Chains A and B, each alone.
Chain A
Amino acid sequence: MSLPTILTGGLDRESSWRLADYERRGGYQALRAIFSRPLSPDDVIAEVKKSSLRGRGGAGFPTGLKWSFMPRNLPGEKYLICNSDEGEPGTFKDRDILRWNPHAVIEGMIIGGYATGATRGYNYIHGEIFEVYERFEQALEEARVAGYLGKNILGSEFSFELFAHHGYGAYICGEETALLESIEGKKGQPRYKPPFPASFGLYGRPTTINNTETFANIPWIIGNGGDRFLEMGKANNGGTKIFSVSGHVNRPGNYEIPLGTPFVKLLEMAGGMRAGRKLKACIPGGSSMPVLPGDVMMNCDMDYDSIAKAGSALGSGAVIIMDETTCMVRALERLSYFYFEESCGQCTPCREGTGWLYRVVHRIEHGQGRQSDLDLLTSVADNIAGRTICALGDAAALPVKSFIQHFRDEFAYHIDNRRCLVPVEMQREGSRIYVGEPW
């Protein structure tokens, strides 16, 4: 049985990114409907609120509520920003949305601009997916030529300009205020909030920022109604969600499922565990979220509330699967190194703490650990979490704390025996990309 889809259904991945193909699939009908019915901006926001669409970038903030914060009637420029700076390890959904279905994002942004009163939009695209940026530029040009963008869209009073902007691959620029700084041409460093972007955003003007997937859902919601969207998922968790499944599964990739679908089902869609091995651990929402042990994960449903109840978060929907061939110390070392490298360096705890965490984990992995290191790591992580301007500090601290919490014995073994609990040969076996083929 195939599950219902909103974003990925019916895409041939050949011409699906073209305007003609998108229109054939019913594209830009939602936008036309807004002007023909007509729907006021308040109607649009009400519909989005009804859908219970929650931000797909990681924080899960209700989109309709966010849009209602915009001072729509304030004169002057207001901005709408799409955050396609997808840089979290394990996450690769926005890239595919932009690659195969860019017009859904464009249409979603136009509708978003209409609802929030924004005059100008930017899509900030991660610097390491340059071909996607180029494709998006082409899609924008198609939309401009067809009159979906620019002055008096579809003959209405509404005007909206949309531009693509590509970053240079800094993870921190995915933080919304760092992203604003980056668009302004400054160093990508998060701003202290308040003031929030809705009152003081890009160039000091009111600004709304949403994730690519969030925008891509908007046309469907307007076209089919918020109620139907909500029905596809479960209460407070409307619609479908794309999960980027990576790691020790047979068919890693993006899978769109209704929120609330059991994890087991998702795992099955991804081809199941490689070589029939057992699930050891899973990070259900991208590398910045706490890791969950395999048995906890197997009983989870994939929606914001269920995962939160299990002790992690759905985040951006990056499901990192680790089977029993994984050395958890080594996995944590790699994660800690990422945050050490990607910290912007602005706040003391994150700048100094991420390096400290990485160095200690690195030491343990290389047989130089001490038993006291485990409490030290937890304590340092505690001193980082919640003490910084943005959430990168928490993102660096949470994996460390959860890895030690759930796999403390394995860390202790590593320290005492100066080697992995999982034999190295077994780790190598597990890392083979295609089971059964020589590497």
Chain B
Amino acid sequence: MVEVEIDGKKVEVAEGSTVLKAAQELGIFVPHFCYHKKLSIAANCRMCLVQVEKAPKPAPACATPVAPGMKVWTHSEQAVRAQKGVMEFLLINHPLDCPICDQGGECQLQDLAVGYGNSASRYQEEKRVVLNKNLGPLISTDMTRCIHCTRCVRFGQEIAGIMELGVAGRGEHSEILTFMGRAVSSELSGNVIDLCPVGALTSKPFRFAARTWELARRRTVSPHDSLGATLIAQVKGDEVVRVLPLENEEVNECWIADRDRFSYEALRQPHRLNAPMLKQNGAWTEVDWQTALEYVAHAFRDIAAEHGKDALGFVASPHSTLEELYLMQRLARGLGSENIDFRLRQSDFSLDGVRSGVPWLGMNIAEISRLDGALVIGSFLRKDHPLLCQRLRQIAKRGARITAVHAAQDDWLLPVETFMKVAPSAFPVALLEILKAVCSTTGASPDTQFAAYLESLPVSDEARRIAESLCSARNGALLLGNFAQHHPDAGLLHSLALEIARCAGQLRVGILGEAANSVGGYVAGACPSPGSGGRNARMLWEDPCRAYLLLNAEPRFDCADPAQALSALSNAEHVVVLTPFVGEHGDYADCLLPIAPFTETSGSFVNTEGRVQSFRPVAQALAQSRPGWKVLRVLGNLLSLPEFEFESSEQIRDSLVAGRDVTAQLSNDMGRVDWTMPSAPPGLERVSDIPIYRTDAVVRRASALQACRDGTDPVLRIHPATASEVGLSNKGRARVKQGGAATELSVQLDEGVARGCVRIAAACEASSSLGPMFGPVTVEAC
């Protein structure tokens, strides 16, 4: 520790700290622009100049390391003269157009100019004008306002992992721009809007929508990925007009992904369902809530009476709130049905009843930042988990060794030491190879049921390298991604990961939860009880029900096998859908109930580390939509189910989790299962990713995100060698067949795809007519 004196006050700070940090400890504010705690130090804005004893000239507080006995004055005459001098320079070429600037009212330059600027400028010459740049559908530019702090540039290089913005030109001609007219396409790009201390980079969808002081700032939680980023929704009237990150060092730090930031556009018209709707004689009519709910109660009661309780199926999206999921399962079980699930994209449920607890990240999110090694199994990491990927990027920079096993190699913008690229059906073998290599390094003896397979198994170099990096980690982890969870052998993969972790010596195993409530769904009990014979997400479609209740789910995009799901739905007598949105369920549903999206209801998400995050509505429910939990509660009342008298979502949550430690329910361990190794299917295998802006019903309707490169239609991606075997050529068209389903897609050769595989994104319009996300597929040129 080093003791320094700032403005006459003494403080002890760690060696190597900066003067700015020491001042912050003392609560002394030093004006600054380019400094940001999460970015490298540039020391270029010069606003934080302070006086240091015995130094001949003022020093930048952000970059000056403390020294024992150092005396600093942040507001002395010399310091303030320097700060005012810098402010004058910042303002001479700034347009001072605050009245028409979106940043006005929340602008660091504006705020500091009040304290350090003059009321009139001594600059009488012509001001500089800088042409605006097109950075894509999310970020709007007014480059004349730029003060060249380079925060946006450093963000790209250091946090997003890709330098999409840079400074070109010198001196006064310096400009922030992209490479040769390219747009910014990082999935984290929106953060530069927050970072920009002036109005040079602002939100394009928000542009000119409101002044900041007209907006209420209300806390909420992201409904998309399982990170549970904390958000501030800014509301004008009853409309969310902007979303910002709420700083939470343990979860999202000060960042959010573009998906969290811009998805609010979906919450408006024309996407929203205004009133309950019934389909009568093939035509949709608006009805009042009473009529609609009574219709549903009757329908469900009749089906149960006629065909038995087992004829009812309940399907929830894992993006629903904990309270909705809980009431949904109470409703199902109250009606006597165990046919309920929220794990819609999973196809293997062999661990149900074997798991020791709720599958989760296996550690706190913040602990990821302390790992020194990680093997990521089956994950489109960068697009599936943008901010978890960012944490891995930071540890990789500090020397953590990242390795991966996956069927498609995308650029994660972080150094992946070894990437083992294998077809989905070869995943178990790949993990067995790693297990064998691990055991031969550590001398551990593998479980007998795996040992039999290991004996004659040849171990590839890649597996050996991955094993070496796992064994050298002192604080390492195996992380199973969404793809590994969707995999037809998900249970086996999980089991092998546990075995590798055990044999390598105390590695952790984490499940990267797919959706906002992937953990919450288990906590709410929204899946069949073990041994009950209830239908899980696969059986719900394989063995169709007579009536379905869908909660926030859009089976065409959200299910492992959309073709099968749609066929089950269209043959059902009743399909009741609780959804905030129009436009998806018209064909098979007979009743649509408008429920409030996450911004208009209270509720909770349990994120992948088991953190229960509750939120209040940030806006009034639109038109006749009602919070999902209220709708389910009334439905329960109409069906005369016991203990359905909930008055608030907090009451529901408390009856579920209050006094009970959710984290105590979390475990990735499992009981014993006797596995048989799957055999590879003949022919080509399908590899499916869920594109980042297709994951859930909200983001699929967010127009600005859909206009991004990640929102474009999927193509068929195939390794060039495999392509020439089946006669496909780059940019050509291909006919894809899966069972009885078929579609046409354009072809893109991609060496990142494992050989013998075809990568076709799921959850997209173009591929929604196809079958399961995994398994055999045939392609031919057309």
Which residues of A line the B interface, CB within 8 A? Answer: 170, 172, 187, 192, 194, 340-356, 359-360, 363, 376, 382-383, 386-389
Contacts and interface: CB of A to CB of B under 8 A. Distances in A.
B44 A359 contact: no
A353 B123 CA distance: 10
Contacts of A346: 42, 44, 148
Contact of A363 (B125, B167, B171): B125
Given A170-B170, A345-B172, A352-B90, A387 B41 contact: no
Contact of A351 (B42, B122, B172): B172
A358 to B, nearest CB: 9
A349 B122 contact: no
Contacts, number: 94
Contacts of B173: 345
Interface string B51-67: 00000111010010100
A91 to B, nearest CB: 20
A355 B171 contact: yes
Nearest to B49: A387
B86 A348 contact: yes
Nearest to A373: B124
Contact of A348 (B63, B128, B148, B166): B148
Contacts of B56: 386
Given A345-B169, A345-B173, A347-B45, 18 more contacts: A187-B167, A340-B171, A343-B171, A343-B172, A346-B42, A346-B44, A348-B46, A348-B86, A349-B86, A349-B89, A351-B172, A352-B92, A352-B93, A352-B172, A355-B128, A356-B89, A383-B85, A387-B85
A192 B122 contact: no
A348 B169 contact: no
Nearest to B174: A345
A350 B170 CA distance: 11
Which range holds the interface residue count of chain B?
35 or more
A347 B58 contact: no
B44 A389 contact: yes
Interface string B359-400: 000000000000000000000000000000000000000000
15 contacts: A172-B170, A187-B166, A192-B41, A340-B172, A343-B171, A345-B148, A345-B171, A345-B173, A348-B46, A348-B147, A349-B86, A349-B89, A352-B93, A376-B122, A387-B82
List 3 A-B pairs, minimum CB-CB distance, nearest first. Answer: A383-B85, A345-B174, A386-B57
A359 B125 contact: yes
Interface of B: 41-47, 49, 56-58, 60, 63, 65, 82, 85-86, 88-90, 92-93, 122-123, 125-126, 128, 147-148, 166-167, 169-174
A387 B174 CA distance: 19
Contacts of A355: 93, 128, 171-172
B430 to A, nearest CB: 36
A15 B349 CA distance: 84
A345 B46 CA distance: 12
A381 to B, nearest CB: 11
B174 A348 contact: no
Contacts of A386: 56-58
A84 B44 CA distance: 26
A376 B121 CA distance: 12
A20 B45 CA distance: 53
B358 to A, nearest CB: 45
A43 to B, nearest CB: 34
Contacts of B126: 359
B170 A356 contact: no
A110 to B, nearest CB: 35
Contact of A388 (B46, B65, B93): B46
A342 B169 CA distance: 10
A387 B44 contact: no
B148 A192 contact: no
A192 B45 contact: no
Residue of B57, B88, B89, B167 ringed by the most chain A CB atoms within 10 A = B89
A348 B172 contact: no
A360 B125 contact: yes
